[in-house]
Structure 1
């Protein structure tokens, strides 16, 4: 079942010199991340696209990466290659990364509703 790595990034720390643009560490991170994904069949689904907020508030940018399954996503995140890149990002950008399983083909949300009804019926 497909799994996803979702990153929500905000509060990008400015480059060392005013007007210098994106910090060189962030550019290096972006240049090198694909090589960390390739061994785990990870691929960007969303990267650098404008976020169109329809309800609520979204405090920044979003990245979405797909993997064949959760074990591949976990292995990518724990890999020495990716772990070496993390400080390039975290020293300059605040954010959150989560790994999550997708739903199986044919998923029916009404089955979850029925299960939740059964759980709350006895409460």
Structure 2
């Protein structure tokens, strides 16, 4: 099942190390079939507060997403980002194309969730 790496990165002045990180990250994704589907860009906040940028990388599955993050190639460049940009990074599994939230709610009700 498709998986995603999501990063919420706070705004900060651009630093040479961050530019190097940007130059090198693509090569770390390729062996794991990762691809950017969101990489910064304007954010329209509809609810709550949001500061910073959103980055979303798609992988064929959670195993490859985790393997990318743990790879020596990514671990080598990660400090170039983390020394200068605060934020969070999470991995999350997607849902099937036919996912239906009403069926999910019904299953939770049947299981006694409410």
Normalised by the length of structure 2, the TM-score is 0.94
Deviation at 1:59, TM superposition (A): 2.0
4+ runs deviating over 4 angstroms? none
Normalised by the length of structure 1, the TM-score is 0.87
Secondary structure of the equivalent of 1:110? helix
Secondary structure of the equivalent of 2:113? helix
Distance 1:35 1:94 in 2: 23
Deviation at 1:91, TM superposition (A): 0.4
Larger Rg: 1
> RMSD value over aligned CA atoms?
1.1
Distance 2:113 2:16 in 1: 52
Gapped regions of structure 1 (runs ≥ 5)? 15-21
Q: Which moved more, 1:65-74 or 1:108-117?
A: 108-117
Gapped regions of structure 2 (runs ≥ 5)? none
What per-residue deviation string (whole Å, max 9, x for no partner) do you get for residues 84-115 of structure 1?
11100010010000000000121111121012
Following superposition of structure 1 onto structure 2, how do residues 64-103 of structure 1 map, counting pairs within 5 Å? Answer: 64-103=56-95
Distance 2:92 2:76 in 1: 22
Count the aligned residue pairs. 113
